[in-house]
């Protein structure tokens, strides 16, 4: 039932022309669907969620360490992926490990998931050109998104780099640090670009590359049976996040200090002139008294 005091239709949307890519696949997809249904019922507005991304506990995953696999069988994974399609959303698997080798491409579970995506016209988010070429060759109907993890390891992220990404992938994600460079943004292909609105990493995070590698290694170790209890891995992950958060807070504090220093330096010339004027007035005053 709609509420006459609430905005309805497009009036309820902050940005009516924007579509969204959100997490939740294999985690809380049912909650996402319920939320969308409630918004539609109350506001007569269907939030345009175009893609829903996530991953089960598989070798190619990265970005987020999957400690507990809630979908054990391929049949369960298939139901999860097809459930998104039934709600008008394209599922995306985050196959974003930057450490994949040729041998990893034979993984039976990941290939089974690709077969499902090929059937339902789903997509993947990648950080490996090797995996991109493999999927292009064997699963041509799977949409391929270039992950922010891929851009993290680029030697130079200029306009030419992003134009090449735009050609090589169906969609590409702009590195979050580059959102603050208007001149670069004006030069980028817009038709298949995606931006992250709720970045969890700090600006110019110095740990980003090592963090992604750590997640990829931990995911592989879990699947290979490293012998470390999941509770311990979860605790170590929580401690790592705490340390990263503390580091990011320290970085932000130091940046605020630098901004303050810059503001002071910009005021130095005026302060110097003010002091010189005061000294001049004092000299004139003393001269007047001597006379």
pLDDT digits (tens, 9 = 90+) for 229-260: 556 656 666 676 677 677 777 887 887 888 88
CA dist 84 to 23, 26, 93, 196, 254, Å?
12, 10, 12, 21, 44
Residue 89, phi then psi, degrees to nearest 5: -120, 140
39-43, 156-160, 216-220: which range is least confident on average? Answer: 216-220
What are the boundaries of each domain within the chain?
Answer: 9-227
90-104, 112-126, 179-193, 219-233: which range is least confident on average? Answer: 219-233
pLDDT digits (tens, 9 = 90+) for 100-133: 999 999 999 999 999 999 999 999 999 999 999 9
Give the whole-number percent of the chain exceeding pLDDT 70.
Answer: 87
CA dist 236 to 60, 106, 215, 233, 243, Å?
21, 30, 12, 5, 10
- Compute the distance between CA of residue 274 and CA of residue 209 in angstroms, rounded to an integer: 49
Q: What is the mean pLDDT of residues 12-26?
A: 90
Give me the pLDDT at residue 114, please. 96
- Compute the distance between CA of residue 192 and CA of residue 48 in angstroms, rounded to an integer: 16
Better pLDDT: 135 or 265: 135
Do 15 and 195 touch, CB atoms closer than 8 A? no
- Compute the distance between CA of residue 215 and CA of residue 233 in angstroms, rounded to an integer: 11
Band (pLDDT 50/70/90 cuts) for residue 82 is: very high
- Compute the distance between CA of residue 255 and CA of residue 273 in angstroms, rounded to an integer: 28
Please report the sign of the dihedral spanned by the C-alpha atoms of residue 213, residue 126, residue 30, residue 116: negative
Residue 44, phi then psi, degrees to nearest 5: 55, 35
- Compute the distance between CA of residue 240 and CA of residue 234 in angstroms, rounded to an integer: 10
Decide: helix, strand or coil at residue 231: helix
pLDDT digits (tens, 9 = 90+) for 137-159: 999 999 999 999 999 999 899 99
Q: Domain 9-227, what architecture?
A: Alpha-Beta Barrel (3.20)
Query: CB neighbours of 74 closer than 8 A, spacing ≥ 6?
Result: 109, 112, 113, 116
Return the closest-CA partner of residue 196 out of 172, 171, 174. Answer: 174
pLDDT, the chain, mean = 86
Q: What is the mean pLDDT of residues 46-65?
A: 90
pTM (two decimals)? 0.74
Query: CB neighbours of 141 closer than 8 A, spacing ≥ 6?
Result: 118, 121
Return the closest-CA partner of residue 21 out of 168, 215, 174, 205. Answer: 174
Residue 280, phi then psi, degrees to nearest 5: -65, -45
């Amino acid at each position: 039932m709609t509420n006459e005091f609430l905005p309805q239709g497009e009036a309820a949307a902050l940005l009516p022309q924007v579509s969204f890519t959100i997490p939740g696949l294999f985690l809380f997809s049912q909650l996402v669907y319920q939320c969308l249904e409630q918004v539609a019922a109350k506001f007569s507005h269907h939030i345009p969620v175009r893609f829903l991304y996530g991953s089960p506990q598989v070798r190619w995953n990265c970005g987020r360490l999957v400690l507990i696999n809630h979908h054990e069988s391929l049949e369960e994974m298939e139901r999860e992926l097809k459930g998104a399609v039934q709600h008008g959303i394209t599922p995306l698997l985050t196959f974003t490990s930057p450490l994949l080798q040729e041998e990893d491409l034979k993984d039976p579970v990941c290939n089974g998931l690709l077969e499902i995506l090929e059937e339902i016209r789903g997509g993947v988010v990648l950080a490996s050109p090797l995996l991109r070429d493999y999927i292009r060759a064997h699963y041509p109907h799977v949409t391929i998104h270039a992950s922010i993890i891929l851009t993290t390891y680029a030697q130079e992220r200029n306009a030419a780099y992003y134009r090449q990404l735009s050609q090589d992938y169906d969609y590409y994600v702009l590195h979050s640090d580059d959102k603050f460079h208007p001149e670069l943004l004006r030069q980028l292909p817009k038709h298949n670009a995606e931006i992250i609105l709720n970045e969890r990493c700090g600006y110019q995070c110095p740990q980003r590359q090592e963090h992604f590698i750590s997640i990829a290694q931990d995911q592989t170790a879990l699947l290979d049976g490293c012998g470390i209890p999941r509770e311990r891995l979860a605790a170590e992950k929580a401690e790592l996040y705490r340390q990263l958060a503390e580091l990011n807070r320290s970085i932000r504090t130091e940046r605020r200090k630098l901004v303050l220093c810059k503001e002071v330096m910009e005021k130095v010339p005026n302060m110097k002139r003010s002091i010189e004027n005061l000294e001049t007035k004092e000299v004139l005053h003393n001269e007047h008294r001597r006379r």
